[in-house]
Amino acid sequence: MVGLLIEDVTLTKTEQITAHVRFRGGAATLTLPLSLGAWADHATTPAAVAEIDTLLSERSDRPRRTTR
């Protein structure tokens, strides 16, 4: 169905992605920002890192000693 509407598409990737689309009835240019890498999508926020640092200085990972 789309093949009946679109004649040609040219993609250019620089600081952004530019798509030049030629339709049967005219042309259009679409500009999109580059997507972030997977590491940026899943990066820990600075506030969470600060909270983890605080907890690490206050807590220990040693098991608790139980008294009998």
Question: How far apart (Å, rounded) are the C-alpha atoms in residues 60 and 22?
Answer: 63
Q: Which has more confidence, 28 or 40?
A: 28
Specify if 34 maps to a domain.
Answer: yes
Residue 68 has pLDDT above 70, yes or no: no
Specify if 63 maps to a domain.
Answer: no
Tokens representing 2? 């789309």
Q: What pLDDT digit, counting tens, does each position of 4-23 carry?
A: 888 999 999 999 999 999 99
Q: Are 31 and 14 in contact (CB under 8 A)?
A: no
Specify if 68 maps to a domain.
Answer: no
Question: How far apart (Å, rounded) are the C-alpha atoms in residues 32 and 12?
Answer: 10
Q: Into how many domains does the chain fold? A: 1
Question: How far apart (Å, rounded) are the C-alpha atoms in residues 54 and 48?
Answer: 10
User: In terms of residue numbers, what domain contains 28?
Assistant: 2-58
% of the chain beyond a pLDDT of 90: 46
Specify if 25 maps to a domain.
Answer: yes
